[in-house]
Amino acid sequence: MLQKILIANRGEIAIRVMRTCRELGIATVAVYSDLDRDAAHVRFADEAYALGGQTAAESYLNTEAIVRAIETSGADGVHPGYGFFSENADFARAVAADGVTWIGPPPEAIEIMGDKISSRLAAARSNVESVPGTTTPITDPAEIVAFGEEHGFPVAIKAAYGGGGRGMKVVARAEDAESAFASAQREAQSYFGRSECYMERYLTRPRHVELQIFTDTQGHGVYLSDRDCSAQRRHQKLIEEAPAPALSPETRRAMGEAAVKVALGCGYVNAGTVEMLYQDGEFFFLEMNTRLQVEHCVTEEITGLDLVAEQIHVASGEPLSFTQESVERRGHSIECRINAEDPSRSFMPSPGTISRLRLPAGPGVRWDGGYHEGDAISQYYDNLVGKLIVWAPDRDRAIERMLRALDEFEIEGVRTTIPAHKVLLAHADFRAANHSTKWVEDEVGADAFTAPAATAATGTAPATAAEAEGGAPLVERTVPVEVDGRRFSVRVWLPEFPAVAAPAAPARSKPKRVATSSGSSGGEGTVSAPMQGTIVQVLVAVGAQVEAGQAILVLEAMKMENHIASERTGTVVEIRVTAGDSVGTGDVMAVIE
Ligand code: MV4
């Protein structure tokens, strides 16, 4: 049995792994970046070691620094969580080369499943059907036309070395094949460094159904449960549930058995997830994720198993604690990923300090979080605040329970996806399980998240500064009032810096704060930040003549560079930022006269 486990991750998943370690009497080691020196996962751990750096590349993806922490701490096991190094075969090998137990699958299995063509071939070797398609790189767009004529359009062009949906192109008609192929290759090259693409029949309204499997070093393989993760937006899952609704028992068993065959066929050991597309009663192998996934909790809730404990036992060479016959599935579980994003503004990231956090509780409610009140959510890492998970005896009651828990959830200082979850869970399509991977974007639509009903819901951060007629900035607050002895909760718009009453504006802990604006949207003479981000480059100097529409600065936000332009023609009289500065929404960056 392992004595001390280093968790090469941060946030909620690091804490999730440590919780099980603590129950098993295993010591925990955290690692952290400069920004995470006092993060929740660091405070939770028995010991913690600095990796240095701010970005993921400098810290949680720095093999040398992590290996040093393994050696210094004397950890005898490493859990990678999900993301970061979890599906990195070289890191797994570096850990093993250090004589330390890797709590994950063999590097060879990671490699087979990391490459989409080789994973399709592996599924085929195990007699499991993928979506009809090719297993050799496309060399000529004529192959796409021929494939479409044989199997029908649309045809999907996918990056062979890609994943996560990036770079997929859908060809609706033969005449689109050439340009779609060229653009798929270009995107594959820029995202994944390899341009090879292959093709598949494109399913127009599939559900994303995935299978949680577990295998051990003795060659046992078991499927624990299926999950439906169709409620997603731009390949970011929003809601997951287990079991997947509306599958026949025969389909469920067939999918589970297929998933186990794929896993055993590639020499897989430990927890894994086989993704399938399900449409019109048919299912097809899509890809395999060689890690513990974010949504593993819903499988834990219906099986009563601790998947992290099982991972640790399997990594130590012990056999699985269950068999296919002994695994029981009871009731229904739903998970909402609570992200610091603003659904009313296209799910724009909303990093910041959590100024207030009151969590739901009560029957059937579980919270796997990565932050506490007062903690800051950095723009450098993902936006997951935590996962709200419910269990109930059936799906309808699980939906009601989740809506109840979301109503109890109070969080301020950052915007969250909570209003969007409420809209989705209450939607007739979701209740009827009549949704697909295209549902949130194409059928629910962005308007559903900007309607007053969505944004006025409780659990949101105070609105961003509005402006009174006199020009004074206003901030939304909720205050209790009594009328004839009855208590009401009233939303009011108060001055941003009042003498009394409203709590102080949340403090931000950014490397350097620049002067804030009045909260106006920039307007004529000032150039202000339309969103929170980092200055990449200042394009003009004080004294320069600029024209309306001319780019003044480059602001990196949401992993994209945005050129911020002057709204008027004039002279640059002031530049308040330099490259590297962090700015918040509304901050004045330059003044033009
Ligand atoms: C597909 C598909 C339809 N037909 N392949 C997107 C992510 C990547 N893992 C595979 N994806 C898809 N592949 C064929 N042949 C639809 C998707 C897809 C999707 C799949 C799973 C979860 C969400 C999705 C959202 C859009 C498209």
375 within ligand 1 shell (Cβ under 6 A): no
SS3 418: helix
Q: Which amino acid is at 258?
A: A
Q: How far is the CA of 117 from the centre of ligand 1 (A)?
A: 15
Q: Which residues pair with 356 in a beta bridge?
A: 412
286 within ligand 1 shell (Cβ under 6 A): yes
As a whole number of angstroms, the distance between CA 434 and CA 572 comes to 55
Average confidence (pLDDT) per 10 residues, the chain, 593 residues? 97 98 98 96 97 94 97 98 97 97 98 91 97 93 96 94 79 96 92 92 96 98 98 95 97 98 98 97 96 98 98 98 98 98 96 97 98 96 97 98 98 97 98 95 91 46 54 78 86 69 44 38 70 87 89 80 84 91 87 91
287 within ligand 1 shell (Cβ under 6 A): yes
Ligand 1 pocket test: pick from 168, 200, 275, 293 the residue with the most ligand atoms within 8 Å of its Cβ. Answer: 168
As a whole number of angstroms, the distance between CA 584 and CA 352 comes to 9
pLDDT for 469 equals: 59
Angle separating helix axes 141-151 and 177-192, nearest 10 degrees: 110
SS3 575: strand
202 within ligand 1 shell (Cβ under 6 A): yes
153 within ligand 1 shell (Cβ under 6 A): no
Contact 334, 393 (CB under 8 A): no
Cis peptide before 243 (omega within 30 of 0): yes
Contacts with 500 (C-beta within 8 Å, 6 or more apart), sequence order: none
CA-based nearest residue to 21, from 3, 43, 48: 3
Q: How far is the CA of 286 from the centre of ligand 1 (A)?
A: 8
CA-based nearest residue to 138, from 173, 171, 182, 172: 182
**Two structure tokens written together for 135:** 């297993």
Residue with the smallest CA separation from ligand 1 atom 8 is 165
pLDDT for 471 equals: 66
Contact 338, 366 (CB under 8 A): no
437 within ligand 1 shell (Cβ under 6 A): yes
Residue 10: HSE in the Cβ half-sphere, 13 Å Cα cutoff: 30
Q: How far is the CA of 94 from the centre of ligand 1 (A)?
A: 33
Residue with the smallest CA separation from ligand 1 atom 12 is 165
SS3 232: strand
206 within ligand 1 shell (Cβ under 6 A): yes
Residue with the smallest CA separation from ligand 1 atom 14 is 202
- Strand boundaries in 138-297, DSSP class E: 155-159, 169-171, 197-201, 207-215, 221-233, 236-242, 270-279, 282-289
pLDDT for 446 equals: 86
pLDDT for 514 equals: 41
- Whether the predicted model's global pTM rises above the 0.85 cut: no
Residue with the smallest CA separation from ligand 1 atom 21 is 208
